[in-house]
Amino acid sequence: MSSLAAKRDQNRDDQRERILDAARSLFASRGFDAVTMAEVAEIAGVARATVFNHFGSKVALVEAITENVFAFWASMLESAIADERTPTARLVRSLFEQMGLGIEQFQGFHRGVFREIMKIQVGLEEGGAAARTSERARDLVEKLIARGQERGEISREFTPAELASALDSLSVGTINRWLYEDASGSLRDRMQRAAEIFLRSAAAPPLSRKRRAK
């Protein structure tokens, strides 16, 4: 690749990141519905047409943000799976706590787009970047749970896919309620309690753990 082409690609990447940063800021302060693409362009310092060159619609813009959110979640899961010594329950507690703390620190942004992210997740286009990242995160949750079952730490009464779905529903429901219905108290604390609800429901019977210890 020539230096000119490399510079052109870098400029395009820089533009894209400025547009995403502008969108995040506007969605955080005003919510998804109130923001226009023209306003995103103005804050990003680019022409309105440039925004549409990168993202064909406001939904496409949120899909890119969704991909970033899922990528961050996937990186947390990869770190948990790479830790082969820590018990599964402690890893799950840490994941819930990190989710709660991260969203609590950026409450404005998540309140502005969380519902849109959830809507997009349901209708993600198969093969798209956000869909692939979401699927990777889901696979990692299942892998973490399957390893816990192999260790005798998680019950085998349900499949890893069923437990991953329950974990997702519990965490999303807790976040959604805190963001839009009752923001009293700390989301971090609520997520810690949600983790305990999941773990107590999913824990392997004591006999299974004793057999593994032998």
Domain edges within the chain: 1-56, 58-213
Q: What mean pLDDT value characterizes the chain?
A: 89
**With contact defined as beta carbons under 8 Å apart, do 171 and 96 qualify?**
yes
What was the pLDDT predicted at 214?
47
List the CATH code of the domain at 58-213.
Answer: 1.10.357.10
**Span 1-56 CATH architecture:** Orthogonal Bundle (1.10)
Distances (CA, A) of 120 to 14, 126, 177, 184, 207: 25, 12, 19, 27, 43
Tell me the per-residue pLDDT of 61-97, one tens digit each, with 9 for 90 and over. 988 998 888 999 999 999 999 999 999 999 999 999 9
If phi > 0 it is left, if psi is from -120 to 50 it is alpha, else beta; for residue 129 that is alpha
What was the pLDDT predicted at 117?
83
Bridge partner list, 154: 203
Entry pTM? 0.83
3-state secondary structure of 154: strand
Q: What average pLDDT score do residues 109-117 get?
A: 87
Q: At what angle do helices 160-180 and 88-105 cross, to 10 degrees?
A: 30
What was the pLDDT predicted at 125?
56
Tell me the per-residue pLDDT of 177-211, one tens digit each, with 9 for 90 and over. 999 999 889 999 999 999 999 999 999 887 554 44
Distance in angstroms (rounded) separating the CA atoms of residues 17 and 50: 12
User: In sequence order, which residues have a C-beta less than 8 Å from that of residue 153 and are 6 or more positions away?
Assistant: 87, 88, 89, 203, 204, 209
What was the pLDDT predicted at 123?
65
Tell me the per-residue pLDDT of 19-42, one tens digit each, with 9 for 90 and over. 999 999 999 898 888 999 999 999
Distances (CA, A) of 24 to 18, 21, 56, 114: 10, 5, 17, 11
What was the pLDDT predicted at 19?
96
